[in-house]
A and B are shown apart, each in its own frame.
Chain A
Amino acid sequence: MTTATVAPPTGAAPLDLARGFLTGGVIGASLAAFVVGCTLGRVPLIVAGPALLAAYALLFRLAGAPRRAREGALAPLTALALIDGREMRTVAETDVPVRFDLTVAPDLAPAFRIRITQDVHVSELSNHRPGTVLVVRYPPDRPWLLRIVRRPTPEWEDRAAGAVLEPASGPVVVADRPDGCAWSLTTLLGVLLGAAAVVLLMRAELFGRDTDTPAARPVTSSSTSTSTFSVTATVTSSTTGTVAFGPGRSVLDRGVLREAVESLTGGGGGDGRQALTVVVREQLLTVVFAPDGVSAPAFDPRSLPFDRVPALVEEARTTLGVDAPRTWQLSAERLAGALTIRIGVAGAGGSASLEADGLGTVVRRSPAR
C-alpha cells in the first residue's frame, strides 16, 4: 500500500498564543472592571467591563469570519479507515473517550496513519475493535480534524463491509494539538494580568476603601485636610463640621445621616451643640454651629426628622416637575422661629423646591416653572 506523510497539526503558533493572551487579558480586565465597579459603586466601570467584552467578542468574530467562510466552503472528504489499535479509559459516562490509531485510505490519495481521540457510546464499542474497517470524514486541508462517521450512508456502509485494508507504514499523525497546554497557560496568564492591571489602576480607591472600611462610622478629626482616597472624611473646626461620604455610601441610606450628625455634635446623649444651619448636598454634610455667646436662633441638629429625609428628597425629585433631576440640596435652619427644612432640586428642566417643618411634614411646594 502506498503511504503518505501528512503534515501534523501545527502547534500553538506565536500568533495563536498572542491571540489567547489577548483574549484572556480582555476577559480578566472585563471581569475585574465589573467587580471593582460594583465594589466601589462606580457605574462607568460596571458598564465598561461587559461593554469591553462585547466589543472584543464582536471584533473577534468579524476578524475570524473570512477564515471560517473559507474553511466552511471546503467539502469534507469521506474515506475508509482501518482501526490499527485503540485505547480507552473507564468513565462513569456512557460516552467513552477512545484513542484510535487509524490507517486512512482515501480514494484518490495515498493512505496515511493518524491518531485521534473520539467519544464512542458504550453500546457501539464492539463495532470499533482493532481490525475493523469503518468510514471517516475530514476536511482535506486539515486531516487532524478527522472524525469517525457514526451513521454512514448505505453506499459507504457497503464499501466498508466489503473492504480489506492493510495497516499503513510511516509516521502517525497525532491529531491532538501538542501545545494545547501552552495555549491554556498563556490564556490563563492573560486573564490574571488583565485582572491585575485593572486592580492596579484602581488600587488607590480600593486600598483607601479597605483602609477605611473598619471605621465605617465617620471619624471625628481636628485636621483640616481631607484625603481624596478616603471613603468618609470628617472635618471639624470650632464653628463648622463637615462629613464627606465616599462612593458606595449614600447619605440617604438608613441611619447614615443621623450617625454623621451625631459624630459632629458629640454623641446621642446629653446636650449637644446647637447649630445655626445644617446643609446636606449629595454626599456632603455641613453643620454650622452657633458660636458661644452669640444669641442667634439655633437648634439641636439631632432633632432633625432623619427618617423622613429620604422620602422628602425623593418627593422633591419626582413630584415637582423637574425633568431628569441631577442634584439636590437640603438645608435646615430656624431663621423664622420654627425649624424649616428646605429641599431644592435642579435638573435639565429647571429647579424646584419644597419646604417641610420640624416633623418632616411638607408645608410648601415650589414646582419647576
Chain B
Amino acid sequence: MGWHGYLAVWCGVLGAVALVGYGRSLAGMTRAQRAVRVPGRIEQVRVPRNGGSRRGGIPVVVSYREPSSGARVVVTNDGEHGEQGETITAAWTGREIGVCYPRGRPHDYRFTADPQAGGRGLGLPNTALFLLYAGLVVAAAVDRGWPWALIGVCGPWALVGVCYLPGNVRDTRHRRERLASMIAAEGRIVAVLRDVTTDAEGSTSTTVTPVVAFTTREGAAVTAHCDAGVPDPADSYGRHLTVHYPADDPAGFVLDHAAQQRSVRSDIAVNVVFLVLVAAAAVTGVLLL
C-alpha cells in the first residue's frame, strides 16, 4: 500500500468519525445536548482567605430548582464538583449562572457562566474534519507542489476572515461603546491568592491572584479574581483602585480602562492587515501554480 493508500485510510476513518459525530449532533444525542441545564442563582459569596488558593474560583453557594421534582437544591463549587465546568471568577449575590449535569446524575453538576449556554457536542467531529482536510492539503502539496499548501491553508482562512470581518467590526465597535459607557467604582484588593506548583522536573511556578471587591450602583457586592491589570500583585493586599464595569454585567469589569480603550482602537486594523496577509499568501499560491 503506497502512501496514497494510507491517506485514503486516514481520510476514511476521520470522515467516518466526523459523519457519526454530526449525525449524533443532528439527532440530539451528544452528551452536551442530553445534559440537563437549569438556571441557578448565587445565594452567598464567601470572600477568599488572604493567602488562600485560587483553585475552584470564588467560593459561592448556588441554588437551583430541580426540573422534575421542583425541589430547591443548594450546591457549592467545592473543588470536586462545579469545577469541571467554568470556574466562577466573578460573583455577587443574585448573579444568575447555569447549572448543568448529565441526565439522571444531578450530583455530577458543573457551572456555566451563561445560563442559556449549551454546546452541540461538535468538538470531536469538527476536529476530525479539520484533520481530514489537513491530510488532503498535505497530499495536494506533495503531489502537485508546495503552492497547494499555501492555497489549502490560507485560502479557507481568508474566506473565513472575509465572512467574519463584518461581525468582528461590529463586535469591536460594540466593545468600544461598552468601554466608553463603563461605570467607575472604587474597589479594594481583599485577598491575594497564592498557588505554588512544581513540575516533573522539580521547577516551581507561583501564581499570584489578587481578589478585588467593589460595589455596583445597584448595590451588588462583587468579588472577583484579577488575572491582569494589578501592578505588583504580590503586594497588592488592601490596595484601593478604580474598577470600570459595564452596567449590564459587572463580571466584565476592567482595571486598566485606558489601556483597554487604546487596544480596542487598533483591533479593526489588526484584523484587516491579517486578512490581507492571508489572502495575499493564498493568491501567491495560485500564481505559483
Contacts and interface: CB of A to CB of B under 8 A. Distances in A.
Contacts of B27: none
Interface stretch (B1-9, B130-138, B168-176, B214-222): B1-9
A interface residue count range (under 10 / 10 to 19 / 20 to 34 / 35 or more): 20 to 34
Given A44-B1, A47-B6, A149-B80, A123 B52 contact: yes
Contact of A123 (B1, B6, B51, B197): B51
B76 A151 contact: yes
Interface in B36-53: 44, 46, 49, 51-53
A121 B56 CA distance: 12
A72 B196 contact: no
B204 A155 contact: no
Given A150-B78, A151-B78, A154-B44, A92 B2 contact: no
A318 B1 contact: no
A151 B44 CA distance: 12
A137 B76 CA distance: 13
Contacts, number: 73
A155 B74 CA distance: 9
B61 A153 contact: yes
A273 interface: no
Given A151-B59, A155-B74, A324-B2, A73 B105 contact: yes
Interface in A127-158: 137, 147, 149-155
Max chain B C-beta neighbours (<10 A), residue from A91, A137, A147, A153: A153
A212 to B, nearest CB: 25
A49 to B, nearest CB: 13
Max chain A C-beta neighbours (<10 A), residue from B61, B102, B104: B61
A43 interface: yes
A326 B2 contact: yes
Interface string B7-27: 001000000000000000000
Contact of B74 (A44, A95, A153, A324): A153
The 9 closest A-B pairs by CB, nearest first: A151-B78, A121-B53, A150-B79, A151-B76, A94-B196, A123-B52, A75-B107, A123-B51, A153-B74
Interface of A: 43-44, 47, 72-73, 75-76, 91-95, 121-124, 137, 147, 149-155, 318, 324, 326
